[in-house]
Chain A
Amino acid sequence: MDVPTGRLAVWWVLASEIVIFGGLLGAYIMHRIGHPAWADQAIHTNVWAGGFNTFVLLTSSLSAVLAHQAAEHGDGPKAARLLRLTVLGGGVFLVVKAFEWTTEITNGYTIGSNLFWSFYYTAAGLHAAHVVAGMVIMLIVAASAARNQELHRVENIGIYWHFVDIVWIFLFPLLYIAK
């Protein structure tokens, strides 16, 4: 099979994550098609905040893959710096999301308002939980990478982070652009 155990585990996790997010997004899409009136709700999501967050996640994916490249060259400290930069990207993403949600909730659009907002907060919230998990794991991996230890983990957490990025790539047009 020739795939290292750690990386194999990450691929299995992602296979299950595809079913989790795929089920949620699939359910959203079929309900959205069945309820054209949801467009009246979708106009209240902030496309510029969503777009900026997409840019932030794409950039954090770049730093994650550069960290992997540095780890491959045996430069643990550089990999650690780039991983921490990726964590910073995750932090910016969450701060923007917090401002966004605060505005929406203040304006009366809560998770219980109707089915559109239930999907909105559930999908974006589940994704944000994955961002937080990735940030925590990345800080742990960065700590060992800085000492040039367990450098193979840099690639593993990177693969997970790119997947979280891909999920957002689909969430963005579904929740923010389709008005």
Chain B
Amino acid sequence: MAEHAHTNYVKIWATLCVLLVVSILGPMLGIRLLTLITAFGIAFVKAFLVAKHFMHLDIEKRWVTYILVAMIAFMVVMFGGFAPDVIRHGGQRWQKTYVEPAVHGAAEGHR
């Protein structure tokens, strides 16, 4: 794959590092929406940059991307199938009785 000879990898790495700093500092403000955007939204942007520029999916055969996206789609279907039962704690004829044990560590821990 000689087509990407002029890609500036250091510049992409620097962008990834800036995004990392934002993803750490953003959630510290304690705003839920901002946490979702900075932590999880930026994770998708970082993953996209790595996949496109470092894994060279932008110049790889298109069907390779289709296969990878199909695998992700399977996971979304799995999530959609299981999540309603896992997330809810009761339905019309069932109730979750399991109680998660509380854990008290030896130290206060760290943020």
How many residue pairs bridge A and B at CB < 8 Å? 145
Contact A169 to B50, CB < 8 A, known contacts A1-B61, A22-B72, A177-B39: yes
Contact A108 to B24, CB < 8 A, known contacts A14-B68, A178-B35: no
Contact A72 to B103, CB < 8 A, known contacts A173-B40, A179-B27: no
Query: Which of B11-41 touch A at CB < 8 Å?
Result: 13, 16-17, 20, 23-24, 27, 35, 39-40
Verify A30–B87 contact, CB threshold 8 A.
yes
Q: What 0/1 pattern do residues 65 to 84 of A give for CB contact below 8 A with B?
A: 11001001000000000000
Determine if B94 is an interface residue (Cβ-Cβ < 8 Å): no
Which of chain A's residues have a CB closer than 8 A to the CB of B79? 26, 29-30
Most buried by A among B9, B54, B88: B54
Binding site for A on B (CB under 8 A): 1-2, 5, 9-10, 13, 16-17, 20, 23-24, 27, 35, 39-40, 43, 46-47, 50-51, 53-55, 60-61, 63-64, 67-68, 71-72, 74-75, 78-79, 82-83, 86-89, 100-107, 109-111
Determine if A130 is an interface residue (Cβ-Cβ < 8 Å): no
Verify B103–A165 contact, CB threshold 8 A.
no
Verify B87–A33 contact, CB threshold 8 A.
yes
Verify B100–A107 contact, CB threshold 8 A.
no
Contacting residue for B78 out of A23, A58, A117, A166, CB 8 A: A23
